[in-house]
Amino acid sequence: MTEHHPPADPSWFEKPRNINLIIAVLIVCCIGLVLADSFYTNDHAHFEEWENMYGFQAWLGFIAFVVIVFLGRVLRMIVRRPEDYYDR
């Protein structure tokens, strides 16, 4: 990977303050969504022990994402070859 420096002409999305703002908004949304679980009942649950668990899809989304990325790291160890592998 090439070394990178902060761009000379940072856009709104590249200013550290705004990046932190985006992350903060995301965290607030996440907290709000988990709290939202208290304000409705799912009458159509097919797997009640799972679907009525507090914030079920929230932790599932988080864990699944992390696991997938780590599986990717493992896979990279196995299948990674130089870029011109097939050209030799």
Site residues (CB under 8 A) for another protein?
1-2, 4, 6-7, 9, 11, 13-14, 23, 26-27, 29-30, 33-34, 36-37, 40-42, 44-47, 50-51, 55-66, 68-73, 75-76, 78-87
Q: CA 81, CA 17: separation in Å to the nearest integer? A: 39
Q: How far is the CB of 72 from another protein (least distance, A)?
A: 3
DSSP helix/strand/coil, 51:
helix
Q: How far is the CB of 17 from another protein (least distance, A)?
A: 16
**Among 36, 39, 25, residue whose Cα is nearest residue 58:** 36
